[in-house]
Structures are given as structure tokens and as C-alpha cells.
Amino acid sequence: MARGTDGPSFHPDLTRARLMPRTSATARNRRILRALGRLGAGKPPRSGELVPLPDGAHLRVHWPTTAPSHGGLPAVVQIHGGGLIIGGPRGSDALCRTLADSLGAVVASVGYRLPPEHPYPAPLDDCETALNWLAEHPRVDRARIALTGDSAGGGLAAAVTARTVDAGRLTLAGQALLHPMLDDRTAADPSASDPPWLRLWNGASNRLGWGLYLGEQAEDPPTDAVPARRTDLAGFPPTWIAVGTADLFHDEDVAYASSLQEAGTECELVTIPGAYHGFDVAEPRAPISRDTARRRAEALRRMLGVAPG
């Protein structure tokens, strides 16, 4: 994809790209979007259950429709996006149901607490608690647990992975990250102009999200708060990362994948020409969105050691 003076050419499958707003969450609409994300949160998912976690967080647990009566199930922790400040796990129900049935796995989507009321480390702690809940469940094979997440959820998944590697109590099967939000230094300069091709997430929203998440620690973030700031990536599990070339996070995701590969981690990087941030949610029926979902599912299948259905 060439980036000319008028911006890149969007992927031909993404026919609504030019109609999409430059960003989604702003300081003005954040509270409204958060309220919308809570709609239906108290209703359990189909073939699943709601599980309360400490401090007000919760899990939406999706059990596979058909599962063996003996032996541990593979498991996936799904972490929703929303720039660290909006969103909720109910929006991932369709994805979780598809993964649960196609992989024969239990998929737990995390309803983590949000800043500014609950800044770092609360959201990350909630996601780590979700992973531990799965690892301790009697129906789960703790040797076959993977993490996945999109946008902010991908960043939180990477941060949970780092904590897990450091703790050494659990070996993850892998992590599958879709356009993950990894680096607070991206678009950190408020005087810089956004590229004209950005859609659904821009520099101002990125500064808002990271600022509210890091709170008083924004000037000197802790090591586990910002995945891209970590220098030691040795011992990380197999990783799959996908990002579009018209995404604000493109460069940070490519750099993170390169760092993982240099550290000896098996890391597959998928760059999608002309795809903007959140394209898969904005245009879910587009062939490129379906293909990306299929590739994520296949990556998780390999990580979990699940035979093709």
C-alpha cells in the first residue's frame, strides 16, 4: 500500500473505510460509550455462564457446545478492546462462541474494570485473575491455555503474558493479538498531525486512553504496564500478530513482533494492506475481515494443539 500525499489506498474489501470517522472514543463521548458497553452485561452468554471475579470484575465463560466428557479442555482468555477506556466483554460474544465451538475450547471473556476510576494496575490485575481462574478450573488443561485480544485487549494480553513469564508458575500455549495497543509513546506529541488515513482511532484518543490508564504513573510507566517498553522478551510463548498498514498501531506492532523474533520467540506477523484500526468490527462481513478471523482461529488451533475439525 503506497502512502501518498492523500493517504493510502484502503483495502478494496473495506468499502466503508472512507465513511468511517477518524476516531471513536473521545473525552466527550467516553461516558456514553461506556454506558452502551454495559448494556446486557448481566445476561449470561448462550451455552455459558457469568462468573464474578474479585473487586467487581467478571467473566463471560463460553463452554463448547460439544466437548469430551473426560480430559481437560483447551482454553482461551479473550480480552476486549476499547482503547483501555470503553467497551465490554459482551461485544465479543460472537467471537467467543465461534472459537469455543470451532476449537472445542472454553473461552472466557474478561469484563475488566476501566479507568479513570480503576487505572493501572486494576485492568491488568483483572485479566491476570481471569487467566488464573481458567488455569485452576478442573475442566481445563492448564498446559493448553492461550490469550487473545484486539486493540487494547491485545495490549493487555501481551502484558498478562509478560507477567506470566516472569512468575514462572504457568506456561502459556500462545498469544494471538489483533492490532494490539502496545506503546504509550505512539502519537504522544499533541502538536503532531495525524496521518489522513487513520480511522476509528487517532493520536488524541491514544493519548486519552493511555493517560487515563496510566494515571499518575504516565511519566514513568511501570515495566509491566506498557508491553512495548519491555526489553527482555526471552521465554515468551508462540505469538501471532495481525495489523493493518492504515492503523495507528502498525509501526509499534511490527516493532514488537521483530523484538519477539530477535528474542527467539516463534512469532507470525500478518500485515494487512490498507486495513484500518478495527476494520474487522466495522466491516465484519468483508472478505478480508473473515480471512483475518480465520487466520486468528487457525493460529490459536496450532497453539492449543487442536486437530482440524
Consecutive 10-residue averages of pLDDT for the chain (309 residues): 54 97 91 84 88 94 81 94 95 96 97 97 98 96 98 98 97 98 97 94 98 96 96 97 98 98 98 98 98 98 92
Q: How many helices (H) and strands (E) does the chain have?
A: 8, 10
> Which grid cell is 85?
477506556
Do the beta carbons of residue 259 and residue 284 sit within 8 Å? Answer: no
Does 221 map to a domain? yes
- Examine residue 7 and state whether it is found in any structural domain, yes or no: no
d(CA 82, CA 113): 12
The verdict on residue 309 lying in a domain is no
Gap between the Cα atoms of 253 and 243, Å rounded: 7
Q: Is residue 153 part of a domain?
A: yes
Domain that holds residue 130: 12-303
Q: In whole angstroms, what is the distance from residue 91 CA to residue 94 CA?
A: 8
Domain count of the fold of the chain: 1
Query: In this structure, is residue 26 part of a structural domain?
Result: yes
In contact, 56 and 123? CB cutoff 8 Å: no
Residues 6+ apart with CB under 8 A from 299: 174, 176, 240, 268
List phi, psi (to 5°) of 53: -115, 165
pLDDT at 2: 36
In a domain, 71, yes or no: yes
Q: What is the model's pLDDT at position 41?
A: 79
Q: Which residues are annotated as catalytic?
A: 151, 247, 277
Q: What is the pLDDT of residue 1?
A: 37
| 269 in a structural domain | yes
Gap between the Cα atoms of 160 and 154, Å rounded: 10
